[in-house]
Homo-oligomer: A and B are copies of this chain.
């Protein structure tokens, strides 16, 4: 058994030594591969993941198979919020969008640890609050934001989690995430590039001017991030 050690996942890092000790024996570190499914719609969730690099997308699925991303989870968070809320499944889909690594734990073990420690439970539930705010702001952004602002917001959120200027993304994937045309993404990326906010290349987007990007995102970026700082640290 390894010694209790902090993780680069910010939720795990925010845990008290005792709470981390509850989880530690059941955490297993491993790779998170591109496109790996972490949760499938309406199927039992077996593992909960705490990424420490890369990120996963939570995608809402309509019955006609229309898909749109509703949330993004990286080293600041965890998958499996429905587990925390007492459901063993969710109608959403969650999969890795940018490869990385992370800890995982069996849902049963997580549930046991949450019962054993109120402080652990409260921390994780505060993250659920953060995630709800993120989803809500995705909703407002989808309703009112122009494509350039939505795209800027998405790139900023991805950048926060990948912690690298270069994001490995195709226009096709961006269009799926935002629920818009692929061609629209291409055009809008050109627009952002001509404003010197990003560089683009095949299968990648490189952030060049973060401040400018935040300006381009308008008011669509920031509230969930502030909520994270307030509630987690």
**Hey, which bits of chain A sit against chain B, CB under 8 A?**
58, 60, 62-64, 66-68, 70-71, 81-82, 84-87, 90-92, 115, 118, 122, 125-126, 128-129, 131-133, 135-140, 142-144, 178-180, 218-220, 222-223, 226-227, 231
> CA of A84 to CA of B86 in the docked complex: distance in angstroms?
13
Stoichiometry, as copies per complex, reads 2
CB–CB B63/A222 < 8 A: yes
CB–CB B87/A126 < 8 A: yes
In the complex, which residues of chain B have a beta carbon less than 8 angstroms from the beta carbon of A86?
122, 125-126, 129, 231
- Checking B60, B223, B227 against A140 with a beta-carbon cut-off of 8 angstroms, the contacting residue is B60
In the complex, which residues of chain B have a beta carbon less than 8 angstroms from the beta carbon of A222?
63
CB–CB B218/A132 < 8 A: no
In the complex, which residues of chain B have a beta carbon less than 8 angstroms from the beta carbon of A231?
86-87
| Interface residues of chain A: helix, strand, loop or mixed (majority) | helix
> CA of A199 to CA of B92 in the docked complex: distance in angstroms?
35
- Checking B68, B85, B87, B118 against A139 with a beta-carbon cut-off of 8 angstroms, the contacting residue is B68
CB–CB A140/B219 < 8 A: no
> Are A132 and B132 CB-contacts (below 8 A) given A62-B220, A66-B144, A126-B86?
yes
